[in-house]
Structure 1
Amino acid sequence: MPKYHNYSKALHHQIFNVISEAADEISVDAYVIGGFVRDHILERGDPKDIDIVAVGSGIELAQKVSEKLPNRPKVQVFKNFGTAMLRSGDMEIEFVGARKESYRQDSRKPIVEDGTLEDDQNRRDFTINALALKLNKNGFGDLLDPFNGYEDLKNRIIRTPLDPDITYSDDPLRMYRAIRFAAQLNFIIEAESLNAIKRNKERIKIISKERILDEINKIMLSDKPSKGFALLYKTGLLKKILPELTALQGIDEVEGQTHKDNFWHTLEVVDNIAENTNDLWLRWAALLHDIGKAPTKRFHKKIGWTFHGHEFVGAKMVYKLFKRLRLPLNEKLKFVQKMVLMSSRPIAIADDSVTDSAVRRLIFDAGDHIEDLMILCEADITTKNPKRFKKYHNNFKLVRKKIEEVEERDHVRNFQPPVSGEEIMETFGIKPSREVGLIKDAIKEAILEGDIPNEYEPAKDFMIAKGEKLGLTVVSSEK
C-alpha cells in the first residue's frame, strides 16, 4: 500500500468540490483531516462532522465556500480560535488554519501559532487522526500520512504521533480519548503509549469533569464498554474518577470462604446489558448497581460474606456520585437510583410460591421502568455454570410471565387510586388532613395485597369502612 494513496472516491460529496474550488481561488492548500478520513478507511461510513485544515486562513476559506454554495449558509466565526463553521445539508464543516501549539504546565489550552500542515499533523492526538486528504485540484484525494497512521488503522493500534509523555502531559484529556477510541474501535493501545498514560495520570486534575464525563459516556455507549473501563482501571484513571467502582475490586477470604470480585462482575453486567439496550442511563445503572457492596461487606461465621442493604446504600451513593461528576440531577438520576435500589427485587419473586401481592408491589414500585429493571436483572446473571445460567434465565421468564398476568388482571402499573383525596374529603366533610392520607394509603395497600380489586366501587366501600374506623362520619356518599 503506497504511503500517498489516492482516496478521491471518498470525496464524492459535492461539498468537497466546492471547497476545492474555493481553496484554489484564494490560493491556499486545503485538506480534510481526522475522523472523516479515519472512518472512511475503516469503512464505518462517512461522518457528518468534517474538519478542514487550510494552510492559511480557515475563516477566509469558510467564507469563500459559503459564497459558492447555493443557499449561502451562515458562517459562524470564532476569531479567538481562528476557526469557522458552517452547515451544508446535514453536514457540519469546521475550518481551521494550520497551526502549531505549545502548552503551559497548568492548562490544556494551547498557545497557538500559524503553522504548516506538518505542524498541524504533529499536534494531533493519534496517528489514526492525523491522516489528511488533499482537496486542491492538483492532488485531489491524495493521502498524506507522515506517521504511518494507515498501517496503525490496519493493525488496529492507538499510537501518538510524537512522544506519548509529551502528548498526554500537554493535553491529559487525550488519555481518556485513547481509551475511548480503543473501546469504540476495538483497537489496542501501543505499549509505550499505555505506559505513558499510567505515568501521566495525575495530570487529569487540570481537566474539567464535564470533558472527562463526555469521554466516559462515549465509552459507556461502545459495543463492549468493559474494554474501556478495564483500561481505565489498569492505567489508574478509573480510581480518580469513580473510586466507588474500583473499591469493588478484589476477593477477600476468611476461614476459607470467599466472595466474587464484584468489580469484574460489574463490567460483565455492563457488557451484557450493552447487548440489549443503547440507553445510556440504563447502562449507568448497570455500572453502579453494586457500588453499595463495598461499604456493606461483612463476614459472619455462620453464613459467610453478606452485603445486607447494599441496594439502599448504593442508591444513596448514586446521588453523591452524580453530584460530584456533574451528571444530571434530574429524572436521569432518579431513574438510576430506582434501578440500583430495586436491582435485587425480581430475584426475590422468581419462585413458584410467590404471592400475587409481591408481584403487584414490584410492578407498582417499578412503574414504567419494569422492563428496564428486568433487562438489568437478566444482565446481572454472569455465572459460568451452564446449568445455573439456564436456571436463572428460566426463573426470570417465570417472573416476566407473572408480571404480565398480574398486570393484565390488576392494572397497577402507574397506579392511580380509584378514589381521589377530594372524594374522601367530600364524603366525610373534612379538610386536608392526616386522615385523608391514611385512607388513601389504606386503599393502595388493600389493592396491592389483593384484599380488594383495583376498581372504583370496592375502593369506595373500603374507603367508607376505613373512615368510620378512624371515627369519621359519612356526610355524602354520592359518586
Structure 2
Amino acid sequence: MTYISALENPIFRTISKASKNLNLESYVIGGFVRDHILKRGEAKDIDIVSVGSGIELAQEVSRLLPGKPKVSIFKTYGTAMLKSGGMELEFVGARKESYTEESRNPEVETGTLEDDQNRRDFTINALALSLSDENFGELLDPFHGIADLKKKIIRTPLDPDITFTDDPLRMLRAIRFASQLNFVIEQQALDAITRNADRLKIISKERVIDEINKILLSEIPSKGFALLHKTGLLPLILPELAALQGIDEKEGQTHKDNFWHTLEVVDNISETTDNLWLRWAALLHDIGKAPTKKFDEKLGWTFHAHEFVGSKMVYKLFKRLKMPLNDKMKFVQKMVLMSSRPIALAADVTDSAVRRLIFDAGDNVDDLMTLCEADITTKNPKKFKKYHKNFQLVRNKIVEVEERDHVRNFQPPVSGEEIMKTFNLKPSREIGIIKDAIKEAILEGEIPNEYEAAKEFMLKKGAEIGLKI
C-alpha cells in the first residue's frame, strides 16, 4: 500500500535525495502519517527516521534546501531539527532503547527500522512511509496500525506493561489520544495503565501538565478525565478534582456528584471556547466543595464559601504542578472566586448589582458569564430554558449598564491628588475614605460616573468627616 499523496510537499523529495546522497534509508513516521490517514489536516511537526545517522541526514537536507536553514543538533539524543516552509522536521537515526526503573530516559543504541518501530508508544504511531526512490510512499505497518485506526483503538506494539513501565508518560499519551481522536484504549492497555499508575511519579510535572492541557483542549475533555479517574491517574495529578467524586447521604438527603457535574461543565464550556485558561476555570470551579462540605439539619448539605476556598486552592495547585503563577493563574482564581456571582444575580437583576459585577469582573465579565452558562447541567428542560433565559437577561443588563455608566475597570473621576489639594491634606486615611465613598456612590447609582457629580459628592463627604476647604 502506498500513500504518495501524503508526500506531495517538496520537502519529502529533498529528504529522499539527501538520503540517496548518503546511501541511507529514510522514513517519515508517527503522527504525520497517522493524521494524514485520519484526514486531520497537514501536520507541522514531522519525524524522520534514517537507518544511519539522523544528524548527518539533517545536515545534508539543509545543504540542499534554499537558504540552508540552521540545523539544531542534540548529540545526547542523537537527534537534529530544522525548520523549513513553516514545518519543523526532527531527524533521528533508527534505534533501540532500554530503560532503568528510575528514569524514562532510555539507554540508546543504533538499530534497524524494525527496532525503531518496536519502541513506538502505539501501533497508530508506528506507521512509516518510505522516502527511498524505489518505493517512495510505501507504507510499513508491522503492528496493524491501519486496522487500529479503522477500529478507533489505542494499542501498544509490545506488551503494554513493558511499554508503560519503560516510559510512564505513555499512559497519559494513551488517554490524550483517546480524548483527542475519540478512540477507545484496548482493554489490555487500559488494565496496564491501572496497574502501573504509580510509575507516573517519575515524570516531571511540566510533561504531565502538557498532556493534561492537550486533554483539556480536546473536543470532549470529559472522555480524557473520565479515563484518568478510571485508571487511578487522576488522584496523582489533581487530587482536588478526584476528591469531588461520590455522593454522601445523611437523613435521607443527598447532594449531586460534583466530579461528574464538573466534567459536564467542562464539556459545555468547550463547545463555546478554546481558551485553555477558561477551560481550567471550568475544571476547578467547584474544587472548594470537598473541603467545605457540611450537613446542616435544617439546610441539608452545604458548601459555604466554596468559591473563596477554591480560589485559594488554585494557587497551591498551580504551584505544585509548576504551572504559570502569572496573570493566567490569577484569571483562573478570579473565575473560581466569582463563579456563583451571576447565578445569584440572575434571580434579581438590579442595576447596582450589575454595576458591581462589571466592576469586579472587569474585562473578564464575558468569560465569567460563559462559565456560569456552562454550569447549567440540569436535565429538566423547563429549568434549563429558564436558567438560560435569566442569564440572557443578565447579559442584556450588563450591556445596558456598561453603555450608560462605563464602570468596567473604572477609576473614580476625582483623583487622590485632587482630594489632597482640595482639603489641603497630606497622605492620610481620609483620602481613602473619600475615594471609596465616591466609588460606592457610583456603583450604587447614587451619582453618575462623571467628574462634576463626583466632585460635588467629594465636597459633601469631606464636610461630613470634618474636613475644611
Bucket of the pairwise TM-score, normalised by the shorter protein: over 0.9
**Residue type matched to 1:378 in 2?**
E
Name the SS for the 2:407 alignment partner.
coil
* CA distance in 1 between partners of 2:408 and 2:261 (Å): 31
> After the TM superposition, which of the residue ranges 36-45 and 425-434 deviates more from structure 2?
425-434
Corresponding residue of 2:310:
314
Task: Specify the code of the residue in structure 1 equivalent to 2:441.
Answer: A
Q: Of residues 41, 66, 70 in structure 2, which corresponds to 1:74?
A: 70
Let me know the Cα RMSD of the aligned residues.
0.8
Deviations 1:40-61 (CA, angstroms, capped at 9, x unpaired): 0000112011100000001111
Is residue 2:393 matched to residue 1:398? Answer: yes
User: How far apart, in 1, do the equivalents of 2:301 and 2:77 lie?
Assistant: 57
Distance (Å, rounded) in 2 between the aligned partners of 1:316 and 1:67: 55
Q: For the residues of structure 2 that align with 1:363 and 1:200, how far apart are their CA atoms?
A: 48
Query: Which residue matches 2:24?
Result: 28
Structure 1 runs not aligned, ≥5 long: 475-479
- Which residue among 186, 189, 207 is the counterpart of 1:190? 186
1:477 — aligned with what?
none
Q: Is the contact made by 2:3 and 2:139 (CA closer than 8 Å) also made in structure 1? A: yes
Structure 2 counterparts to residues 67-466 of structure 1, below 5 A: 67-351=63-347, 353-466=348-461
| Equivalent residue pairs, number | 469
Cα distance, 1:355 vs. partner?
A: 2.5
Q: Are residue 6 (structure 1) and residue 5 (structure 2) matched?
A: no
Q: Does the aligned pair in 1 maintain the 2:349–2:397 contact within 8 Å?
A: no
* Matched position secondary structure for 2:80: strand
Show CA shifts across 1:421-440 (max 9, x none): 11111111112111111111
Counterparts of 1:257 and 1:78, CA distance in 2: 61
Q: Residue type of the partner of 1:314?
A: G
> Is the CA contact 2:31–2:46 (under 8 Å) kept in the aligned structure 1?
yes
Find the residue that maps to 2:47 and give its secondary structure.
Answer: strand
Task: Return the alpha-carbon distance in structure 1 between the equivalents of residues 350 and 314 of structure 2.
Answer: 31
| Alpha-carbon separation, structure 1, partners of 2:71 and 2:327 | 36
Q: Tell me the distance in 2 between the aligned counterparts of 1:408 and 1:323.
A: 39
- Structure 1 residue 74 displacement after superposition: 1.0
Q: Match of 2:467?
A: 472
User: Aligned partners of 1:46 and 1:407: how far apart in 2?
Assistant: 44
**Contact 2:349/2:394 (CA < 8 Å) preserved in 1?**
no
What SS does structure 1 have at the residue aligned with 2:109?
A: strand
Instruction: Structure 2: state its 5+ residue gaps.
Output: none
In structure 1, distance between residues paired with 2:382 and 2:350: 26
**What is the TM-score of this pair, normalised by structure 1?**
0.97
TM-score by length of 2: 0.99
Equivalent AA in structure 2 for residue 205 of structure 1: K
Query: Retained in 1: the 8 A contact 2:124–2:146?
Result: yes
Show CA shifts across 1:187-225 (max 9, x none).
Answer: 000000000000000101110000000000000000000
Give CA deviations for 1:274-320 in whole Å, capped at 9, x if unaligned: 00000000000000000011111111111211111111111111111
Write out per-residue CA displacement over residues 21-41 of structure 1, whole angstroms, 9 at most, x where no aligned residue.
Answer: 110111100000000000000
How far the C-alpha of 1:97 sits from its partner, in A, is 0.3
Q: CA deviation at 1:447?
A: 0.5
For 2:316, the aligned partner's letter is: K
Amino acid at match of 1:179: I
Q: Secondary structure at the match of 2:134?
A: coil
SS of the residue 2:133 aligns to: coil
Name the CA distance, whole Å, in 1 between partners of 2:147 and 2:26: 24
Percent of aligned pairs with the same residue? 75
